[in-house]
Amino acid sequence: MSLLITDECINCDVCEPECPNGAISQGDEIYEIAPNLCTECVGHYDEPQCVEVCPVDCIITDPDNEETEDQLMDKYHQLTGS
Protein backbone atom coordinates (compact mmCIF):
# COMPACT_ATOMS: atom_id res chain seq x y z
CA MET A 1 0.00 0.00 0.00
CA SER A 2 1.14 3.47 -0.56
CA LEU A 3 0.59 6.00 2.15
CA LEU A 4 -1.82 8.91 2.25
CA ILE A 5 -1.61 12.25 4.02
CA THR A 6 -4.94 13.26 5.54
CA ASP A 7 -6.37 16.77 5.75
CA GLU A 8 -5.08 16.96 9.32
CA CYS A 9 -1.68 17.86 7.80
CA ILE A 10 -0.29 21.11 9.22
CA ASN A 11 2.25 21.68 6.40
CA CYS A 12 5.17 21.49 8.80
CA ASP A 13 7.55 20.39 6.01
CA VAL A 14 9.24 17.57 7.95
CA CYS A 15 7.99 14.63 5.88
CA GLU A 16 9.05 15.70 2.40
CA PRO A 17 12.85 15.54 2.88
CA GLU A 18 12.56 12.18 4.68
CA CYS A 19 11.09 10.34 1.67
CA PRO A 20 13.84 8.35 -0.08
CA ASN A 21 11.72 8.04 -3.24
CA GLY A 22 10.70 11.69 -3.61
CA ALA A 23 7.06 10.66 -3.36
CA ILE A 24 5.99 13.56 -1.14
CA SER A 25 5.33 17.02 -2.53
CA GLN A 26 3.36 20.12 -1.61
CA GLY A 27 -0.18 19.95 -2.95
CA ASP A 28 -2.70 22.75 -3.29
CA GLU A 29 -3.49 22.76 0.43
CA ILE A 30 -1.48 19.98 2.11
CA TYR A 31 1.38 17.66 1.31
CA GLU A 32 0.55 14.75 -0.97
CA ILE A 33 2.09 11.34 -1.62
CA ALA A 34 2.39 10.01 -5.19
CA PRO A 35 1.23 6.38 -4.99
CA ASN A 36 3.39 5.35 -7.94
CA LEU A 37 6.52 6.45 -6.03
CA CYS A 38 5.62 5.40 -2.48
CA THR A 39 7.07 2.08 -1.29
CA GLU A 40 6.37 2.74 2.40
CA CYS A 41 10.18 2.87 2.60
CA VAL A 42 10.40 -0.87 1.80
CA GLY A 43 13.94 -1.45 0.57
CA HIS A 44 15.23 1.64 2.32
CA TYR A 45 14.11 1.47 5.97
CA ASP A 46 12.20 -0.79 8.34
CA GLU A 47 9.50 1.83 8.92
CA PRO A 48 8.04 4.58 6.73
CA GLN A 49 10.15 7.62 7.55
CA CYS A 50 7.37 10.14 6.95
CA VAL A 51 5.20 8.38 9.53
CA GLU A 52 8.11 8.39 11.99
CA VAL A 53 8.61 12.17 11.80
CA CYS A 54 5.01 13.38 11.41
CA PRO A 55 4.10 15.40 14.53
CA VAL A 56 0.34 15.08 14.03
CA ASP A 57 0.09 11.44 12.89
CA CYS A 58 -1.78 12.34 9.71
CA ILE A 59 -0.13 9.75 7.43
CA ILE A 60 -2.11 6.55 6.97
CA THR A 61 -2.18 3.59 4.59
CA ASP A 62 -4.11 4.47 1.47
CA PRO A 63 -7.12 2.12 1.20
CA ASP A 64 -7.33 2.83 -2.55
CA ASN A 65 -3.75 1.69 -3.21
CA GLU A 66 -3.28 -1.68 -1.53
CA GLU A 67 0.00 -3.46 -2.28
CA THR A 68 1.74 -6.45 -0.76
CA GLU A 69 5.24 -6.32 0.70
CA ASP A 70 6.49 -8.10 -2.45
CA GLN A 71 4.80 -5.54 -4.71
CA LEU A 72 6.37 -2.71 -2.70
CA MET A 73 9.79 -4.37 -3.03
CA ASP A 74 9.27 -4.75 -6.79
CA LYS A 75 8.40 -1.05 -6.99
CA TYR A 76 11.53 -0.24 -4.97
CA HIS A 77 13.67 -2.19 -7.48
CA GLN A 78 12.01 -0.43 -10.42
CA LEU A 79 12.54 3.00 -8.87
CA THR A 80 16.16 2.42 -7.87
CA GLY A 81 17.23 0.34 -10.84
CA SER A 82 18.66 -2.28 -8.53
pLDDT tens digits, 19-36? 999 999 999 999 999 999
pTM: 0.92
DSSP 14-76: SSGGG-TT--EEE-SSSEEE-TTT--TTTTT-SS-HHHHH-TT--EEE-TTS---HHHHHHHH
Residue 15 belongs to domain with CATH number: 3.30.70.20
> DSSP state, 7?
T
- Which domain covers residue 76, as residue numbers? 3-80
Q: Is the pLDDT of residue 55 over 80?
A: yes
Q: How many domains, in total, are found in the chain?
A: 1
In angstroms, the CA 47 to CA 41 distance is: 6
Q: Which residue type does 3 have?
A: L
